Structure 1
Amino acid sequence: MRALHVITGLGVGGAERQLRLLLRHLPVECDVVTLTNPGAVAEELRSDGIRVTHLGMRGNRDLSAVGRLARLIRQGRYDVVHTHLYRACVYGRIAARIAGTRATVATEHSLGRAEIEGRPLTRSVRALYLATERLGAATVAVSSTVAGRLRDWGVPADRIRLVPNGIDADLFRFDAGRRAAVRAELGIPGGAFVVGGVGRLVPGKRFDVLIRAVAALPEARLLLAGDGPEAGALRALALRLGAVDRIRFLGECDEHGDGPVPGVPALLSALDVFVSTSREESFGLAAVEALAAGLPVLHDACPAIDDLPAAHAPSATRIAGSPEELTARLRQRIQAATARQPPPRAVGHYDIRRSSERLMDVYAYALDTAPPNRRALS
């Protein structure tokens, strides 16, 4: 079987990182096309031996990209075209139908209650999504929460398949030596209480709440990994609150920390508590990675945790999202000074190997139900 994965861009992000990890475990020959932005994850995929093609799409109205993508799909003779993220799902499903691909599958990574990938869920956005969704065999939801949103949005329930995101838990296992090394590298005393957050620096992640909470705790420090349009405003906030000497903006972190910034697994080993203040998530990958590192997790919206029984993640605590509440919760953690815990059951539930097996079942279904004599449209 040969599969082509089509994604909107390959900068550092949850969907992009998930695609790379998934391709390491899929027993299928895979290529990748990125419509735009062949960023850091494109280079990482190439280092894994995956062929990555940049389509060079110039914008949402670059309709010529459909023809270019259809020709690429036809030339590759792919059995399955798998699309990721809104623009790639819309254009990729059309191109796959033109190319006569036997089966097309889409993964919905970022559908929220009021927005999708940061764009408002307008009537036209929904109409275009639903019209092209019918061109595929199935739409994959990365969480039960997203599956429910897809149903509410108008996608028929029998077309939705649940394949949760996954992680490689061994990568994030706590390492005391790594903890000491990262703290020494960043100039953090071994006994300091360190809070962490990971994600794109965008308004929806609400990192301003995290900064305000840590600023109110003179004994706490914050390591914030990620980059984005809010970086300047967040730095200014830390300065205005008089906490700039206790808050480190690390920029984008990759898996291995090959650059000047520690990788995410090393960063998690250096922390004492992980916080996710996002008002809306489709999964919450960083929170699951933190659980794999044995960290207590304070979170607002996090379907990966919320969709499971509480006993699966006893070290995770739901917060309402105000700076005052978060400050109080962090103060409790400082006073408790608990040791690292073994990864909870939620981590095993989200093993990437299970995700790849479930996705292979979706591919088999898509191929089994495909019309036997589909031909490319002229």
Structure 2
Amino acid sequence: MRMKKKITFITSGIGTGGAERQLALLAGGLRDRGFKPTIISLSAAPNPLPEFENLETYVCPLEKGLGSPRRFLKLWKKIRQLEPDIIQGWMYAGNLLASILAIGLKPPRVFHSVRASNMDSARYGRQIRLNGLASHFSRATIFNSEAGMDFHKNMGFSASNLQLIPNGIDTDKFSPEPRLRDVLRRNLGFASGDKVVLYVARLDPMKGHKTLLDVALACPEYKFVMAGKDTETLEASSNVTCLGACENIAELYNAADLLVSISNFGEGFPNVIGEAMACGLHVLANDVGDSRAIIGNTGYICASSDAEIVSKQICSIFARRNNVVKPADPRQRILTSFSCNAMVEAYASLYQKEMLDHVSK
């Protein structure tokens, strides 16, 4: 019996975001390995990631819950038309819909994927509980971080079918480009000798924008750049440039001297850390999610997320760079431990084994 190797991904959305970019990388990598990936987005994005343009993608927007009966029925029919070998949920909403839409399919091979760690129960408690219940009926729940796996196990997720597959970084797209440094700095109005601190995150309560704004106030001698959706709305001191959503993130990594990653909760595998490291940029992060495990000995971990302590640590990093040996090469760590190829191979092996087990039965 020849395997069709059809994988249908059901995701919350395909707009700007780390989880969305990982999905696009995964689907593209699986296609290159002979799989037939299809992506169903449960929301319409005004500006979908360009990476989805060359992938088979369907937008089936649903309102809260299961949406209108007509739209849900359309989605139900679409799944049966696709005849997937495996349905892979992506993020909380995608996981729940994957389990519901698989009812009646033979065999109902459903996988879930969780991309976060210690989420705020006040905001996400209902989704976490429902996902925990549904996890007992999926073939596996795949986490991109140890921190996420431990947190959700304690929140009632099935402990018997957890899988860890760290994110993969596109090291072709994110790579050192020294020629971009001076060009982008001039475009931003910075001098070649300015110390530039970069913070990349959408404006969200789980992120640490308020902390970074306070840090910038305490460090007027340095330039700070904030990039991410809605950051252009922030009121900041004169040494902070708020760019909003950016297409040229790789260029920003190359223009900066240090990436700072501060989050209040919820981080699993922060993609911005891996992307910056792939560009050769050293990182200062607080100890959330798997940040410490990703950075290893190539960067710095904040002793606290307090703005005063973070500002002192930034000053210390810049003051001692000319006097001591730098941390290890961040790009080499990404190439060795967190490549896109390794991530895709891990998913491909998992799916292949699942389909082979079915054929042999």
Q: What is the TM-score with the length of structure 1 in the denominator?
A: 0.84
Instruction: State the 1:173 CA deviation.
Output: 2.1
Q: 2:246 aligns with which of 253, 268, 282?
A: 253
Asked if the contact 1:10/1:39 (under 8 Å) is kept, the reply is no
2:275 pairs with one of 268, 289, 293 = 289
Question: 2:174 pairs with 172, 175, 182, which one?
Answer: 172
Match of 2:56 among 32, 51, 55: 51
Aligned partner of 1:33 in structure 2 is 40
**Structure 1 residue matching 2:215: 3-state secondary structure:** helix
Q: 1:330 to 1:53 in 2, by over 3 A?
A: same
CA contact (8 A) 1:66 1:91 kept: no
**2:223 aligned residue (215, 221, 227):** 221
Report the CA distance shift for 1:319/1:285 in structure 2 as closer, same or farther (over 3 A): farther
For 1:147-296, list aligned pairs within 5 A. Answer: 147-228=149-230, 232=233, 235-236=234-235, 238=236, 243-244=237-238, 246-254=239-247, 263-280=248-265, 281-296=267-282
For 1:136, the equivalent position in structure 2 comes to: 138
Q: Is the 8 A contact 1:174 1:293 kept in 2?
A: yes
Match of 2:254, as an amino acid?
A: S
1:112 partnered with 2:115:
no
Instruction: Report how far residue 160 of structure 1 moved.
Output: 0.7
Q: Work out the CA distance in 2 between the residues paired with 1:58 and 1:201.
A: 23
Match of 1:306 in 2: 292
Amino acid of the structure 2 residue aligned with 1:7 = T
What's the offset of the Cα at 1:164?
A: 0.6
CA contact (8 A) 1:23 1:30 kept: yes
Counterpart secondary structure, 1:128: helix
Instruction: Give a deviation string over 1:182-232, Cα, whole Å, max 9, x none.
Output: 11221211111100011111121111111111122221111111014x753
Distance 1:69 1:134 in 2: 24
**Is contact 2:28-2:55 (8 Å) kept?**
no
Identity, in percent, stands at 22
Match of 1:21, as an amino acid?
Answer: L
| SS of equivalent residue, structure 2 residue 246 | coil
**Alpha-carbon distance, 1:329 to partner:** 1.2
Q: 2:279 and 2:176 mapped to 1: Cα distance?
A: 5
Aligned to 2:22: 18
1:334 aligns with 2:318: yes
* 1:159, distance to aligned residue in structure 2 (A): 0.8
- The equivalent residue for 1:376 is none
Match of 1:67 in 2: 73
Alpha-carbon distance in structure 1 between the residues aligned to 2:309 and 2:160: 41
2:241 partner amino acid: R
Alpha-carbon RMSD across the aligned residues, in angstroms, is: 2.4
1:96 touches 1:104 (CA, 8 Å); kept in 2?
yes
Q: Provide the rounded CA distance (Å) in 2 between the counterparts of 1:75 and 1:86.
A: 24
Aligned partner letter, 2:110: T
Residue equivalent to 1:260: none
Asked if the contact 1:213/1:323 (under 8 Å) is kept, the reply is yes
1:193–1:66 Cα change, 3 Å: same
Q: Displacement, 1:128?
A: 1.9
| Gapped regions of structure 2 (runs ≥ 5) | none
The CA distance in 1 between the partners of 2:166 and 2:22, in whole Å, is 10
Would the alpha carbon gap of residues 19 and 39 (structure 1) be closer, same or farther in structure 2, given more than 3 Å must change? farther
User: Which structure has the higher relative contact order (CA within 8 Å, separation 6+)?
Assistant: 1
- Give the match for residue 11 of structure 2: 7
For residues 276 and 49 of structure 2, what CA distance do their matches in structure 1 show?
A: 25
- For the Cα contact (< 8 Å) 2:284–2:301, is it kept in 1? yes
Partners of 1:330 and 1:130 in 2: CA distance: 39
Whole-angstrom distance in 2 between the partners of 1:198 and 1:42: 17
Q: Aligned letter for 2:242?
A: F
Confirm or deny: 8 A CA contact 1:142 1:162 kept in the other structure.
Answer: yes
The CA deviation string for residues 242-262 of structure 1, in whole angstroms up to 9 with x for no partner, is x23x211111123xxxxxxxx
CA shift in 2, pair 1:192/1:21, >3 Å: same
Q: Which whole-Å CA distance do the structure 2 matches of 1:288 and 1:42 have between them? A: 19
Aligned-partner residue type, residue 55 of structure 2: I
Farther-moved stretch of structure 1 (24-33 vs 12-21) = 24-33
User: Once the 2 structures are TM-superposed, how far is the Cα of residue 318 of structure 1 from its aligned partner?
Assistant: 2.9
In 2, are the aligned partners of 1:105 and 1:363 still within 8 Å (CA)? no
Output the CA distance in 2 between the equivalents of 1:248 and 1:341. Answer: 29
Cα distance change on mapping 1:301 and 1:369 into 2, 3 Å: farther
- Paired position in structure 1 for 2:306: 322
Alpha-carbon offset, residue 340 of structure 1: 9.3
8 Å contact from structure 2 (residues 117, 289) kept in 1: no
1:257 corresponds to? none
What count of residue pairs does the alignment treat as equivalent?
348
What is the TM-score with the length of structure 2 in the denominator? 0.88
